Amino acid sequence: MSGDIEARLARELPGYARRVVDALEAAGHEAWVVGGWVRDALLGRPGHDVDVTTSAPWQETARVLRAAGIEVHETGTAHGTVTAVVDGRSVETTTYRVEGAYSDRRHPDEVRFVTDVREDLARRDFTVNAMAFHPERGLLDPFGGEKDLAARVIRAVGEPRRRFGEDALRVLRAVRFACRLDAAIEPATQEALVACAPELDQIARERIGQEMDGILATGRAAWALRHEFAVMAAAVPELAPMAGFDQRSPYHAHDVLEHTARVCAGVEEFTGGGASQALRWAALLHDVAKPECWSEDVSGRGHFFGHPEAGARTARRVMARLAIPGDVARAAAALVLLHDFEIQATAPSMRRMLAELERSCPGQARRLAFDLLDLKRSDAVAKAPQCMGYAVELDRMTRALRAELAAGAVWRVGDLAVGGADVIRERGIEPGPGVGMVLAQLLATVMEGELPNDRDAQLAWLRW
């Protein structure tokens, strides 16, 4: 590697991380920056957290850093990790280690501390993640990670089958890094990936959830579905029936899998790569229940009655199993449920959509309404060519939604110009469920545009 690049990395290494490395080395130990920071800095993206690996045993690391005035938390001492906090920034600092046997294919049975940093690099998953950097000694890259990074290749360190056999989660990590770096997977690594994908069923579900969430967060789930479907379906078995499922419908030119890949790509396109995590999960799962809801009419045409409701149930189940955060999961399930909800570019239709979103996901309707329109737009362009017109229609709906929100859209009882006390007084009724019913009726009237959201008009309506 060129000295220029090493000089750039040395300049870009944050001062707080440098302090940790320097303190350890001043005490006679060896310390390197490893993993994600090195990889991303080589790519010109130096914002990654800094992890440090050191020859010092963790007790010694803690002692040396504290003596240098650095705050230390004993966060993972069983694996040799302590967290140093400098200027409010955390640096995970781990003793050189290798992993023992993985008899449950999940957790190493033991970690063994070693003295050579090269052994520590050799236990890491991919060549691009197995580089170490020191501001004076430069880059340590025993497996050709820098070359693979430049060529955008994900390659297992060592023998791929053995490495995926030790920890099947690496199968999903390979896909995540390929998506993130826009990389290809080296052929022997790819072959092992497919062979070992079924072993994902022995991996803790929340670890799978984290990696799946990570794959979606790259905005390249479409690539993963098209190129690594065996892995995706091993991680989320509910996806499996989508492949090759012929929709036998004039509205669909593609099978459910290719359609879903197009919708995943579409939501990124329409949001400039900034889709919310909820929208990304919804794109992945919006048609997940189509195969189970399929029926054929007398003309041989396929229908999917009830697939949004069934899909929302499946989406909730999948995301709960994978421990996806509740707010993301609720929002994604609401989008799946409503992805076929009929809307027009009119104010009452926009209010009905907001009210439906409010019902599924209280307090989120405003934000989710835009996500729902982006999902519908992507869904339309991913169908057959004759559905493109609807995508144009959706632009008018987005404008209608903006106009409606700017005009102070009414979709909750709380948005009305009158409240329960007004109902009790004007109607002369007792407090109780009747008050709510009157307000619900008033809300429906205002939402349909039959009454303005104006206090005098609504008081008059109550008196009438």
Interface with ligand ATP (CB under 6 A): 35-36, 48, 124-125, 129-130, 167, 169-170
Minimum distance from CB of 166 to ligand ATP (Å)? 8
- What does the radius of gyration of the chain's CA atoms come to, in whole angstroms? 28
Minimum distance from CB of 105 to ligand ATP (Å)? 11
Q: Report the partner that residue 165 touches, choosing among Mg ion, ligand ATP, none (CB closer than 5 to 8 A by kind).
A: none
Name which of 101 and 298 has its Cβ closer to ligand ATP.
101
Name which of 209 and 311 has its Cβ closer to ligand ATP.
209
> What are the structure tokens assigned to 319, written together?
């995301």
Name which of 36 and 142 has its Cβ closer to Mg ion.
36
Name which of 216 and 256 has its Cβ closer to Mg ion.
216
Minimum distance from CB of 66 to ligand ATP (Å)? 24
Going by DSSP bridges, is the β-strand pair 97-99/111-113 parallel, antiparallel, or unpaired?
Answer: antiparallel
List, in sequence order, the alpha helices (H) in 271-387: 277-285, 290-293, 307-321, 326-338, 347-360, 365-381
Binding site for Mg ion (CB under 5 A): 36
Shortest-Cβ-distance residue relative to ligand ATP:
36
Kindly state the helix (H) or strand (E) to which residue 257 belongs, with its residue range. Answer: helix 256-270
Q: Report the partner that residue 225 touches, choosing among ligand ATP, Mg ion, none (CB closer than 5 to 8 A by kind).
A: none
How crowded is residue 223: how many other Cβ atoms within 10 Å of its Cβ?
A: 18
Minimum distance from CB of 364 to ligand ATP (Å)? 27
Name which of 131 and 375 has its Cβ closer to ligand ATP.
131
Q: Report the partner that residue 167 touches, choosing among Mg ion, ligand ATP, none (CB closer than 5 to 8 A by kind).
A: ligand ATP
Minimum distance from CB of 49 to Mg ion (Å)? 6
CA 170 to chain centre: 18
CA 368 to chain centre: 16
Rounded CA-CA distance 261/258 in Å is 5
Burial of 159 (0-12, 13-18, 19+ CB in 10 A): exposed
Name which of 124 and 307 has its Cβ closer to ligand ATP.
124
Rounded CA-CA distance 113/106 in Å is 19
Rounded CA-CA distance 349/187 in Å is 51
Minimum distance from CB of 49 to ligand ATP (Å)? 7
